[in-house]
Chains A and B, each alone.
Chain A
């Protein structure tokens, strides 16, 4: 039917591509979290201050985050090539894709962190303050635990976004399922490869979203 013949598929190559996608996803998600979480906390903390120079820090951070979020990912990959080469030694393949993925996703995640921290009841922060908590203690023992469901939802959204970013990196030879879909499916008209690649990505997103929702539900106490 429609001239589709799945027996032509090279399952070995699909397996390698799937593994590449997972590698990119996991490592970029980890670094996005490590970079984005403190950045989000910093955005939140600086946005609450009335002190002049702290407001300036907030505004500068905010503009940088906005710029990184407005540059299309495909352009970001190209623009970051010198930086990527400096960091990981190469600008292509699985390794060369991770820095641009992190640079693109971390500001996005930081904004989600900032938003979910804002949701934390100010009264609770005040109570902690009245008990003699330091700023660091308030962040670690009040803000982050209280915002946990929101943070988990933010992580889920970010990881799902990363899935589509990894696919885009296929355009510049980044490897993974997206790369496979473009090279075989699009350039060589092998619909079968395209269908399977897209199907795998759909399943991946579904699984990630479901797992995320479950975690959010598990940690929601309201």
Chain B
């Protein structure tokens, strides 16, 4: 659906250039919710703004739904942009227009006739739950309500893609969750492709199917959320995930251990999360274990658990325990 090929974006002239994106490649499938996570300054904002050419890449191609945007003329690009909705961190609503007029705005730009606009706007007001606020001005709304207007406005021209530029970063945790839920609903209802950028792992974990980690203008890790989340490869990815789990995992990994014990991290995914695999196996092999740290959570709808344990006993039985739980389908990481 969206494909970036060798996208490079440089700012400035002469010797004082900074490279925000360096030869970045990315492919996003139709109907998926794709998250891009990165620290501020990593280039994520530039990246998403390249997807509708609000920023024109210095070089490279931007393909959306089979069209290379960088090759389009001014007018063709304007028409194409109607298929790409966008919502923003600071909502960017027209302060001089009511909720109704804000949502109607993209349709008026496209010269849609009045009756059709009224139909569409009322439908959208209902979708985002703002029927009672149609004649209010943005200044009279809460942050969450403003973002709902933003979403309704972005959906007005029936786009193929919705770009979310830090759409929940200015909202409190409860409101963030309700907006994320709305995005997920829309994704399922309309099979709409959603690209979102964020610096919060929580956002990725709640609704994304796939994730890419951006660092210094390039993608350092990419894959299904569960995979990236549970087995992070790149240090930056680990940082984001550790940030979520807190310091306790770090502390657990500092626990003393010697020849007669081993520190392991066990990862449970899916229904196994609720199984008593570890105690069953330990009973069979005669190994003792101390639980040092544990978490249980969900990635989108899939439950997962992580346990940091110290296995105690002879090295033979310990090896056997590790082999057996691996056979049961758990992922085991052994620390020396």
Contacts and interface: CB of A to CB of B under 8 A. Distances in A.
Interface of A: 121, 123-124, 126-134, 137, 141-142, 145-146, 148, 219, 221-222
Contacts, number: 68
A57 to B, nearest CB: 19
Contacts of A148: 96
B109 A146 contact: no
A189 to B, nearest CB: 53
26 contacts: A121-B95, A123-B88, A123-B90, A123-B92, A124-B93, A126-B88, A127-B92, A128-B105, A128-B109, A130-B54, A130-B81, A131-B82, A131-B86, A131-B153, A132-B79, A132-B80, A132-B81, A132-B82, A132-B109, A132-B110, A133-B109, A142-B94, A145-B96, A146-B94, A146-B95, A221-B139
Nearest to B106: A131
Interface in B13-69: 52, 54
Contacts of A141: 105, 108-109
Interface string B81-107: 110101010101111110000000110
Contacts of B105: 128, 131, 141
Interface in B103-149: 105-106, 108-110, 137-139
B92 A146 contact: no
Q: Tell me the interface secondary structure of chain B in the complex.
A: mixed
Contacts of B157: 131-132
Contacts of A133: 78, 109
A124 B90 CA distance: 9
A221 B138 contact: yes
Given A142-B94, A221-B138, A131 B81 contact: yes
A126 B110 CA distance: 17
A132 B94 contact: no
A221 B88 contact: no
Contacts of B80: 132
